[in-house]
Amino acid sequence: MIALIERLPNSRRQPNLVLGVSRHLGALAGSYASFRKWL
């Protein structure tokens, strides 16, 4: 995951954008453990 994020421009490496895209792609709101498993 870090390698994918590192390919993004610096202006797009914001946590809120990463989390927003994750939600858009199907990650559910919940615990860190469930988010990590989804990743």
Q: Can you tell me the mean pLDDT for 24-39?
A: 92
Judged against a pLDDT cut of 90, whether residue 5 lies above it is answered with no
Q: What is the pLDDT of residue 27?
A: 94
Q: What is the pLDDT of residue 26?
A: 94
d(CA 29, CA 21): 12
Question: pTM (2 decimals)?
Answer: 0.62
Judged against a pLDDT cut of 90, whether residue 18 lies above it is answered with no
Distances (CA, A) of 34 to 22, 26, 30, 31, 38: 12, 12, 7, 5, 6
